[in-house]
Amino acid sequence: MSIIDPIPPQARPYSQQAPPVSTDKSPAIDSPSTSSNPVTTAIIYCEGNFAAPDGKTANGLVRHSEKYKILSVIDSEKAGLDAGSVLDDKPNAIPICRDFEDALAQAGDIPDTFIFGMAPSSGMLSPHERGLVLEAMVLGMNIVNGLHEFLNDDPVFSAACNTYNVTILDVRKPRAKKNLRMFSGRIAEVTCPRIAVLGTDGAIGKRTTATILTQALNDSGVKAVLVSTGQTGLIQGARYGIALDAIPSQFCSGEMEATIVEAFEGEQPDVIIIEGQGALSHPAYLSSTFILRGSCADGVVLQHAPGRSHRCDFEDVLMPTPASEINLIQTFAQTKVIGLTINHENMTDEQVGKAITQYEHELGIPATDALTRPPERLVDMVISAFPKIKGKLADCA
């Protein structure tokens, strides 16, 4: 019981409850998940960051989760509000709670899982957050951790797993180096179009757009598979994916290639959509280089936030223009940017409409906003660039 000491005193009354036996046997993150896995209940910790860039994991799970039933989000700054209303002006009955105690009270029963829903640039837990995670473990809750800090390697958390019969899923932890894969050239065996959703910044909505695009294509009769490249997509339940920014650079292109080949062989899709990370021009987040090289993407959809003046987390680094990013992408890789998607933060709907018109005129490619405009516009973007897919639409009619 030595691990109790770090737990915040205000949370300790709950630690006297008998923890339930954990039934969540989450698959290793480097193995595809299956639809037969039971959906488990979860609360998300996102203090001070929900609906903000550093809260992108919580934001994504509130919008879409195949594996977890999200019961609530913890963020005292927005407590009492509906998470869907805050994020997209669409109520979804997921409450925002002031603290862990409030979330437990609203859940009624002890949830199965505690998800750390933030992606701070430090990638580490604060002392308070460590105590909160330990308190959840005392209650018998499994932990989902998307940070660069691997909690299974910490003796305190490891002891808590054994004591309370719970698990920690360190989403970003890669395979052992001996099992990582080098680029082989097998990407040439993937005969369907590969489309990467890249951006002009980090935390700009690439995963959200990629998810909506994949769903829209499938709804239209075009079989599409999403390959995730970050922790949030993997937590959401992506069948194929890797946490690319945690892999040693020597293996990044190979792991990207191998994951796409797995998706192609396993699903035989008409198109593969690849989630982007960071931005090719970003001085700190370089995963886009490996995504382009490893996937040998046939096309790119570029996400841009016209209302963002500087890179998130980097106030002295100005945002690039879409034109400069497109030029960089098409110079760096043998690919073409087939469309632009808008992140509408700090913009009115009228401003979004004007931006779409302006960029289509300036760039000569279609533009849309995946969240506020019809998803069919995304499908048209893909069909226009890869007309051979159009026959699949007729099959659906």
Return the bridge partners of 72, or none: 43
Identify whether the C-beta of residue 294 lies closer than 8 Å to the C-beta of residue 257.
Answer: yes
Identify whether the C-beta of residue 278 lies closer than 8 Å to the C-beta of residue 284.
Answer: yes
Return the bridge partners of 142, or none: 113
The rounded distance, in Å, linking the Cα atoms of 93 and 106 is 12
Provide the pLDDT for residue 121: 74
Say yes or no to pLDDT of 343 above 50: yes
Provide the pLDDT for residue 20: 32
The rounded distance, in Å, linking the Cα atoms of 326 and 50 is 30
Half-sphere exposure of 35 (CA within 13 A, CB side): 0
Provide the pLDDT for residue 394: 56
Provide the pLDDT for residue 397: 47
Identify whether the C-beta of residue 99 lies closer than 8 Å to the C-beta of residue 45.
Answer: no
The rounded distance, in Å, linking the Cα atoms of 96 and 116 is 15
Can you tell me whether residue 282 is helix, strand or coil? coil
Question: What is the distance of C-alpha 274 from the center of its chain?
Answer: 12
When comparing pLDDT for 37 and 142, which is higher?
142
Q: Scanning the structure block, which residue is given the tokens 């370089």?
A: 286
Q: Count Cβ atoms below 10 Å from residue 321 Cβ, excluding itself.
A: 15
The rounded distance, in Å, linking the Cα atoms of 345 and 14 is 39
The rounded distance, in Å, linking the Cα atoms of 156 and 246 is 23
Provide the pLDDT for residue 2: 32
Q: Count Cβ atoms below 10 Å from residue 284 Cβ, excluding itself.
A: 12
- Banded pLDDT at 342 (limits 50, 70, 90): very high
Identify whether the C-beta of residue 343 lies closer than 8 Å to the C-beta of residue 233.
Answer: no
Across the range 292-321, mean pLDDT stands at: 97
Say yes or no to pLDDT of 14 above 70: no
Which of 119-123, 168-172, 314-318, 333-337 has the lowest average pLDDT?
A: 119-123
Say yes or no to pLDDT of 26 above 80: no
Q: Count Cβ atoms below 10 Å from residue 71 Cβ, excluding itself.
A: 22
For residue 216, give the H/E element and its range.
helix 206-219
Provide the pLDDT for residue 326: 98
Could you give the domains of the chain?
A: 2-170 (3.40.50.720), 179-396 (3.40.50.300)
Provide the pLDDT for residue 22: 33
Provide the pLDDT for residue 39: 74
- Whole-number Cα distances in Å, 252 to 61, 75, 266, 290: 25, 34, 21, 6
How long is the chain? 397
The pTM score is 0.88
Average pLDDT of the chain, as a whole number: 90
The rounded distance, in Å, linking the Cα atoms of 82 and 88 is 10
Say yes or no to pLDDT of 221 above 90: yes
The rounded distance, in Å, linking the Cα atoms of 255 and 241 is 9
- Banded pLDDT at 37 (limits 50, 70, 90): low
Across the range 284-300, mean pLDDT stands at: 97
Query: Using CB atoms within 10 A of its CB, is residue 287 exposed (0-12), middle (13-18) or buried (19+)?
Result: buried
- Banded pLDDT at 38 (limits 50, 70, 90): low
The rounded distance, in Å, linking the Cα atoms of 380 and 178 is 43
Across the range 361-366, mean pLDDT stands at: 98
Across the range 26-53, mean pLDDT stands at: 70
Say yes or no to pLDDT of 9 above 80: no
The rounded distance, in Å, linking the Cα atoms of 226 and 361 is 30
Across the range 274-280, mean pLDDT stands at: 98
Provide the pLDDT for residue 395: 57
Signed CA dihedral, 95, 98, 100, 105: sign only? negative
Which of 61-70, 116-125, 274-283, 360-369 has the lowest average pLDDT?
A: 116-125
Determine what percent of the chain is predicted with pLDDT higher than 90: 86
